[in-house]
Chain A
Amino acid sequence: MTAHRSPAVALERIAKKFGHVVALRDASLAVAEGEFVCFLGPSGCGKTTLLRIIAGLERQNVGVVRMAGRDVSHLPPSERNYGIVFQSYALFPNLTVARNIAYGLEARRKSRHEIDGRVAELLDLVHLRAHTQRYPAQLSGGEQQRVALARALAPSPALLLLDEPLSALDARVRLALRQEIKALQRRLGITTIMVTHDQEESLTMADRIVVMNHGVIEQIGTPVDIYTEPRSRFVAGFVGHMNFLSVVADARPGWSRLGALALRHRAAPPVPAGTPVTLGIRPEEIIVGSGARDAENRIVGRVAGLQFLGAFTRLRLDLGDSAPPLECDLAMGALAEVGAKEGVELPLALRADALRVFRDPTPPAASDA
């Protein structure tokens, strides 16, 4: 293997519309070999459409799809060499687990012996050895999911496409299968693209996340990147929680004003004083209690509500009428230490290096930033 290989999948300026509905605009992306990429976004943002265009099940209006450097835009699905798992699994109900998995192999003129060997291998891979002769209707949801995965992997495709593979499962099975799929993908080193609208799923599984909104790719980056450096307000709000404060830019670069209060924030491209901008800070980045006393960006918040969430507690803090309430996460120990109770006023500090600046999207024409 050489170091400089073409990306396993490259999309160049893909656009797709259904009648007057624009499903995708100008989507470009490169997926490296062996990489696990998630398409993440709200319902209707075009994730499935993009996946189906890669699969050749939908045809784009504009743009090029490349696989391993080769332009496959004109190839039918059968010549693109991928395996796919649909949200519904689409298992063939009239075929046993073994025949389902063998389905793609039988088309390849392999000997019975070879096929049986490969099927057994895959059954082991997804831990379904005991269920070989069952029909899909006799399996649980999670087991069906694994059969679908095995069926997609059986012909040893170069690419694995998953469209919300876990969304039909209940929460516990979903968690277990997340691990299992990820481990399997690592072991096989297969390039994988998964569609999901569950941000937690994408954060835990993906090497890189492609955040989409309204048919546009908003940001591409590692989970840490996306979480810590969201490029837009949409990404910040969609991946994890974020508090937003509407402020105006101050004359001093790196400062802004929330009413009478001056706040220092992360370095950002300067804007003219008085321009409305939005500051964002994650709930766990707010310093509460004694630690806040001599920090900068100090404010006082009154506890308006507590929401116990297991490992931590989410406080709702009123800042008076100048701003919407802030959400702030505290671990159990810290909670007792600061004595947070409803009605209590707490000193807070908004760390300057945690305060991200987002240009407000209000004027529609200026969105190309």
Chain B
Amino acid sequence: MPAIGPVEAARIPTPVVRHRLDGERVLRGALLTGFALFLWLFVGYPLLQVLWRSLLDNEGQFIGVANYVRYVRTPAIAASITNSLWVSTAAMVLTVTLAFVYAYALTRTRMPWRGFFRVVAMLPIFAPSLVHGIAFVYVFGNNGILTRQTGLNVGIYGAKGIIFAETFYCFPHALLILVAALSAADARLYDAAAALGASRLRTFLTVTLPGVKYGLMSACFVVFTLVITDFGIPKVIGGKMSVMATEIYNQVIGQQNFTMGATVSVVLLIPAAIAFAVDRLVQRRQYSLVTSAAQPLAPGRSRLARALLFVYCATIAAAIVGVYGVIGVTSLVARWPYSFAFTLKHYRFDTIGGYTPLLNSLEVAALTAVAGTVLAFVGAYLVEKCRTIASGPLYVASILPVAIPGMVLGLAYIFTFNAPGSPLNRLYGTLALLVLSNLVHYFTVPFLTATTSLRQMDAEFESVGASMGVPFWKTFWRVTVPIALPSIVGIGMYFFLNAMVTLSAAVFLVAPGTELAAVAVLLMDDAGDTAQAAAMSVLIIGSGLLVRLGFWWLLRGITRRTQAWTATPSEG
């Protein structure tokens, strides 16, 4: 018989026989269009606005790359690039090194208190980044307790402070990745190394490190991106040192120079985008490395190493607890570090008019959690299960937001939603816009989580439903959603916790009446109301922890209910 190839294929017409339009196809098309429209309106279009504005002067005249030339030629502004790269690299090396040893101790030894150490290390996730900077100021700053008590001023304002505070802030993010990478180790490799008579050091260098190579790289990218895009810490502890994120703020809020803000934003997009792209490539390769036949490793048991690692973990855990202890104490005493009389007066928030910011934050976080979960899951479903020519572009557009720094997103939204004469203006200064910016800012991770959980499901659920005349939305609701419920709950929590602590995009988008708690911390700290800033931080952390507990309880209930489906087949 003849060979089948492109020549044969050419004889078959390309258009396929169309199915009649029915309600299901119309709905699917409408949902896809809606999702695409959302991504265009809140991701694509605003980004293009930033790009465009960086090519204009403040009168709106097109001036090409003149802004960029001015950026690199003005030493005071240009320094922000090198400063950003330097502190991000330093914080990255420090954080990943510290977190790697910590993760190693948690996963490869049977040392006591491992659970406790793991929980404590996660604490920084519940606080806005700037809280870590503030805590450092309270201890090492000009009026810090250490400086007061010893008269020794370590000069915390500047690179030093930024790097150390960022290390605290980024520690749990690096730890999560490294723990996962180290847990996936294959015991057979270690057995082989031992059988070949390899020394401990050799085993570590030839087996352990290569095994977690991709995890290490991933952790590096994540930390680097977190630091270079962070605004809160450099703002409160950076002193005279300007980094790109604070430079955007200075240009926009300080000097009303929107085009220079846009220019710095575009430059800030580059390292974030590179880190993102390389990380995606690395992760793709990692999949081929993990085989399902890998044997879990039984943790080793050298006593001296265990003791040393225990001391190490205890020190780090104590430091983290110390940070939150300082914040807590500051909020509860009359005047840190001069008068330690107990008081609750800072929790009245007189200067900012009470609890409105906190309530706003809770409302925004709850709405973000609900809307974000729906959007991420439905979006992933549409991209994954309704295969069309749009699937590829929609997927790319959905994972793009993670590469957009918060400051850039905030500025983009100013351009988009605060443009004279635009119908989109009605959103400006509303809580809705804050919710939307959170949705976009934190969209990628939930979207990928949902995609993964959808890919793990049988590809034919919808086909089975369709064959029996059950519309796809019914199968979605009765089968897909219940199976993915654990992921869905996780997605909701992720959105909530991030929305509670986010500062960068919000700082451009809050308006009178829509202040958020994290922004209030920044403003009160700026105004010298340190104790009230601390009190607000405590409330943010507290509500985050409470919600985390709630989610944990919810998840436990779900797991208990779904245990029956996941049981192994019974005998006979």
Interface residues of A (CB under 8 A from B): 15-17, 19-22, 25, 55-57, 59-63, 73-80, 82-84, 86, 88, 90, 92-95, 103-104, 106-108, 135-140, 151-152, 154-155, 157, 161, 213-216, 361, 364-365, 367
Contacts and interface: CB of A to CB of B under 8 A. Distances in A.
B16 A104 contact: no
B469 interface: yes
Given A61-B14, A138-B564, A214-B1, A84 B467 contact: yes
16 contacts: A59-B16, A61-B14, A61-B16, A76-B20, A78-B467, A78-B469, A83-B468, A84-B464, A95-B479, A107-B470, A137-B565, A138-B569, A151-B464, A216-B1, A364-B3, A365-B2
B458 interface: yes
Given A92-B461, A136-B565, A103 B16 contact: no
Given A61-B16, A78-B24, A108-B469, A21 B569 contact: no
A86 B464 contact: yes
B25 interface: yes
Contacts of B570: 138
B565 A76 contact: no
A365 B3 CA distance: 10
Given A62-B13, A78-B469, A78-B471, A25 B463 contact: no
B460 A137 contact: no
Interface stretch (B4-12, B106-114, B285-293): B4-12
A140 B474 CA distance: 28
B9 A20 contact: yes
Given A17-B9, A22-B8, A77 B17 contact: no
Given A62-B12, A75-B19, A155 B4 contact: no
Given A61-B16, A62-B12, A140-B569, A76 B468 contact: no
B566 interface: yes
Interface in B462-484: 463-471, 474, 478-479, 482-483
Contact of B20 (A61, A74, A106, A107): A74
Nearest to A53: B17
A104 B469 contact: yes
Contacts of A95: 478-479
B480 to A, nearest CB: 9
Contacts of B200: none
A265 to B, nearest CB: 23
Given A74-B18, A103-B468, A152-B467, A22 B569 contact: no
A75 B409 CA distance: 45
A233 to B, nearest CB: 10
Given A83-B468, A94-B483, A20 B566 contact: no
B17 A94 contact: no
A195 B471 CA distance: 26
B468 A155 contact: yes
| Contact count band on B | 35 or more
Contacts of B465: 103
Interface string B18-31: 11101011000000
A16 B25 CA distance: 22
Contacts of B463: 55, 57, 77, 84, 86, 90
Contacts of A135: 564-565, 567
Contact of A94 (B14, B471, B562): B562
A152 B562 CA distance: 25
Among B9, B464, B471, B570, max chain A CB count under 10 A is at: B464
Contacts of A79: 22, 469
A57 B18 contact: no
Contacts of B567: 135, 137-138
B568 interface: yes
Nearest to A364: B2
Contacts of B562: 94
Contacts of B8: 22, 25
Given A78-B22, A78-B24, A214-B4, 9 more contacts: A22-B8, A25-B8, A84-B464, A90-B460, A94-B482, A94-B483, A104-B468, A139-B569, A155-B469
Closest 6 CB pairs of A and B: A104-B468, A90-B460, A77-B466, A59-B16, A107-B470, A90-B458
A60 B458 CA distance: 24
Contacts of B19: 56, 59, 74-76
A215 B4 contact: yes
Contact of A61 (B17, B458, B468): B17
Given A59-B19, A155-B469, A367 B12 contact: no
A176 B474 CA distance: 35
B467 A55 contact: yes
Contact of A15 (B2, B12, B18, B466): B12
A59 B13 contact: no
Contact of A107 (B6, B474, B479, B483): B474
B15 interface: yes
Contacts of B474: 107
Contacts of B20: 74-76
Contacts of B461: 90, 92
Nearest to A96: B564
A94 B567 CA distance: 11
Among A73, A137, A161, max chain B CB count under 10 A is at: A137
A95 B564 CA distance: 10
A56 B25 CA distance: 14
Contacts of B22: 76, 78-79
B559 to A, nearest CB: 13
Contacts of A137: 564-569
Nearest to A55: B467
A201 B467 CA distance: 25
B483 to A, nearest CB: 6
A92 B474 CA distance: 13
Given A25-B8, A76-B22, A93 B471 contact: no
Nearest to A104: B468
Among B12, B13, B20, B567, max chain A CB count under 10 A is at: B12
Contacts of A19: 9
A137 B569 CA distance: 6
A135 B567 CA distance: 9
Given A94-B565, A107-B469, A140-B569, A74 B1 contact: no
Contacts of B470: 78, 103-104, 106-107
A139 B569 CA distance: 5
A137 B567 CA distance: 6
A236 to B, nearest CB: 14
A118 to B, nearest CB: 13
A95 to B, nearest CB: 7
Among A61, A84, A94, A214, max chain B CB count under 10 A is at: A94
B4 A83 contact: no
A107 B466 CA distance: 11
Contacts of A75: 19-20
A360 to B, nearest CB: 12
A348 to B, nearest CB: 32
Among B6, B13, B479, max chain A CB count under 10 A is at: B479
A20 B568 CA distance: 43
Contact of B467 (A63, A77, A93, A364): A77
B12 A22 contact: yes
A15 to B, nearest CB: 5
Contacts of A139: 569
A136 B458 CA distance: 13
Contacts of A214: 1, 4
